Every structure is written in structure tokens, then in C-alpha cells.
Amino acid sequence: MTPAWNHNRICSLLNIEFPVIQGGMVYNSGARLVAAVANSGGMGLLGSGSMRPDLLRDQIRKAKTLTEKPFGINLPLLYSNSPENMKVALEEGIRVFFTSAGSPKRAIAPLKKAGCVVVHVAASAALAKKCEDAGCDAVVVEGFEAGGHNGREELTTMVLVPECVQSLKIPIIAAGGIACGKQMLAAMALGADAVQIGSRFAITQESSGHDNYKKAVVEAGSQDTHLVLKKHVPVRLLQNSFRDEIMELENRGASREKLFEALGTGRARAGMLHGDLKKGELEIGQVAGLINDVPTVAEFMTRLLAEYELAKAGLCKL
């Protein structure tokens, strides 16, 4: 670990060099991305939300061939195969779990018993406090600028992080709207111990997202994403005909059944993994407007940390 970060609570907790977490992302964070982040000194998380247990096992084994550094998994708790995915990850020796989408209460006992670090993703200070009380080692607090599924609270990272810092003792990882060193510095200035980055890592060479999806994000502006399905399962999506169709139905007051019928199945796989830009679901955050290239993870990490140091030096001058 470099001297600059050796007192950082998240670096010590996760045994990583830099306080940078690559958020677990369906159809994007497979073994290649996770290993590249680990090899660059951050914490990579496999996106188990889009993996059946056999695929998750393969991806854990593959990542181990690509890095000797620690890595973990993101485990959304609401899917029917979540218990099986947890079992597989434990069998394969994973000891870092970032849980999300649900309450961490029930998952925490077996994970702690197995000696795991458990971090949960929260979209409000109230849920973040519940995570601390339930025994989580740290919490990701995610503003609704973020890509992917969001809380219903619609709180921004700028408001959520300091609110959580006031009331929590465990380390806080800021997420939502962070894609460059200046934003990382701002999050740390608000009191975060580390940052979790999703969208920016989705648009790297090593992400398993389709090239069409990456190109669409590079061409997008910051106003090209919208939060849809706010009353049901809020998710931030890039503009395309699929998203327009969902928004139009919502605006017309369509029932839950009608909305889910229009959603269909396999839309996220079609959009992000297979590159169907019309009918597919393209999850990405507001930072799409700041994403203008598709670097390797190593290039991005070097850039991120250099920008961070430059921004810090600039502030000192002020």
C-alpha cells in the first residue's frame, strides 16, 4: 500500500492500495474487469446479479487466474438464486461481500460466521444506520445520480454523504456521480472514506458490456439518462426507444402489470451484453456526460489518481 493511503480505513479493511471500489454491475463486471481493477490497486466486485450459480463459480475461478489480489462479489439479495450464489461464493473462498437490494439483516449472520467483510448499499441515511446496527463493516451510500437500480428517495450524493457521516461510525463509501479525480476528492471532502464507481468502469476495455453500448454512452450527454419505474423498481437508463416506451407508459399512468408486461424479460441482457440499442435496457449514470472514451482500467486508474492529486493541490493553493 502506498504511504498516502495506509491510514485509510477502507484500504485496511479490504486490503487494497487505493480507496476505489468498482461497483458490481450486471452484464458488465465479469472476471476480466474485476481482475483488472484488483491489479490496479482497487477492489473489483463480480456482478453476481446477472449470473447463475454455475457461471458465478466459473467467473470466480477465472478471476483467480488473472489476479492474485483480493476481490469480492456484489450480491443483490432479492433474487431467488441469491442464497445459492452466496453459497457458491463462500465455497470458492470469497470473503468480501457487497450486498444490495434488500435488507442485509438475514444475510449478515452466515457471512460473518464465515469470516467475511460485509458492506451493504444504502440510498438513505436511515437505511445506512440500519446497516451499521445490523453489523455491516462499512456502507456504500449511493446518490440517485448513479447508474442502475436506485432507491426511491432521490437523494443526491452531495446531500447523502455528509448526512450519513454525521450519524455513522463505520466507514462510508460514496457512490453515484463519481467518474474523475475531482469528483473523488469532493466525495472525500464530504467525509467519505472511499468511492464506489460504476458507470465509468462499465465503459472500459475490460468490461463485458457490448461495444455498441459503450459507444452509445461515449456519445451521450449528462441529460440523456432518466430515472424510470420510480414507483416500482427505480432504474436509471440511457435514452433509447425502449426507455421512451416505458416513460410514456408511466406518464399515462399505466398499471404495474402493464409496465412489467412492457418491460418483458431479458432486456438488460439484450441491451448491455448483446448491444441491442433499440429494444435493450441500457443502465448508466448521469456521469455518462463525462465519459468520452473507452480506456483500459489501468489507464483510467492512473488518470483518476493523478486528477485527484492535482485537484487536491489546486485546493491547497486557494
Ligand X SMILES: Cc1cc2nc3c(=O)[nH]c(=O)nc-3n(C[C@H](O)[C@H](O)[C@H](O)COP(=O)(O)O)c2cc1C
Which residues of this protein are in contact with ligand X, per CB under 6 A?
23-26, 28, 47, 49, 74, 76, 100, 121, 142, 145-148, 175-178, 196-200, 202, 272, 283-285, 287
Closest distance of CB 79 from ligand X, Å: 10
Shortest Å, Cβ 201 to ligand X? 8
CB of 2 to ligand X, least distance (A): 23
Farthest-apart Cα atoms in the chain, separation? 57
* Nearest residue (CB) to ligand X, 63 versus 272: 272
Nearer to ligand X, 69 or 200 (CB): 200
Nearer to ligand X among residue 31 and residue 121 (C-beta) = 121
Beta strand residue intervals within the chain, DSSP E:
20-22, 43-47, 72-76, 96-100, 117-122, 138-142, 148-149, 172-175, 194-197, 225-228, 235-238
What pairs with residue 148 in β-bridges? Answer: 236
Q: Classify strands 72-76 and 235-238 as parallel, antiparallel or unpaired.
A: unpaired
Contacts of 217 (CB under 8 A, 6+ apart): 199, 202, 203, 238, 282, 284, 288, 291
Cα distances (angstroms) measured from residue 141 to each of 120, 126, 158, 190, 285? 9, 11, 11, 12, 15
283: CB partners within 8 A, 6+ apart: 25, 26, 147, 148, 149, 235, 236, 237, 238, 268, 271, 272
- Complex with ligand X: residue 5 or 97, whichever CB lies closer: 97
Buried b (16+ CB within 10 A) or exposed e, 264-281: eeebbebbbbebbbeebb
What is the smallest separation between the CB atom of 154 and ligand X, expressed in angstroms? 14
Closest distance of CB 280 from ligand X, Å: 12
CB of 8 or CB of 208, closer to ligand X: 208
Q: Which of 241, 231, 223, 232 is nearest to 284 (CA)?
A: 223
Min dist CB 284 to ligand X, Å, is 5
Report the residue closest to ligand X, judged by CB: 198
Choice between 69 and 210, CB closer to ligand X: 210
CB of 197 to ligand X, least distance (A): 5
Closer residue to ligand X (CB): 65 or 268: 268
Rounded CA-CA distance 274/271 in Å is: 6
